[in-house]
Structure 1
């Protein structure tokens, strides 16, 4: 009985993600998502101040 025989096996390391180049559609989509998140955050803050 040498080493680790029982129990959970250690998961293998995932390969590093390769930085992919974003095209114009991806950039527009990310900008739209960011604008929506900012608007949502502002609306929540506005509701919090009314109370």
Structure 2
């Protein structure tokens, strides 16, 4: 038995028509891609360096 048999059936999703992109939209998307690339590069650099200094107050097991 399927859990979705009863009730109202969902309609199929309609494909959105391809809208025409103007120069502003294209420039915006290009800028977003470049920013995403920079973020990915920064993540790679941060991951390769290891953990940050974890100094500070250290808790002991005693109470």
Task: State whether TM-score is above 0.5.
Answer: yes
| Shift in Å, 1:13 | 1.6
Larger Rg: 2
| In the alignment, structure 1 residue 26 sits paired with structure 2 residue 19 | no
TM-score where L is the length of structure 2:
0.65
Which blocks of at least 5 consecutive residues in structure 1 are unaligned? 1-5
CA distance in 1, matches of 2:28, 2:7: 41
For residues 1-50 of structure 1, give each alpha carbon's deviation from its aligned partner in whole angstroms, at most 9, with x where no partner exists: xxxxx833111123211011110000000000000000000000000111
Name the one with the larger helix percent.
1
List structure 1 segments (4+ residues) > 6 angstroms apart after TM superposition.
Answer: none
Number of equivalenced pairs:
46
CA distance in 1, matches of 2:18, 2:49: 44
Deviates most, 7-16 or 17-26: 7-16
| In the alignment, structure 1 residue 41 sits paired with structure 2 residue 40 | yes
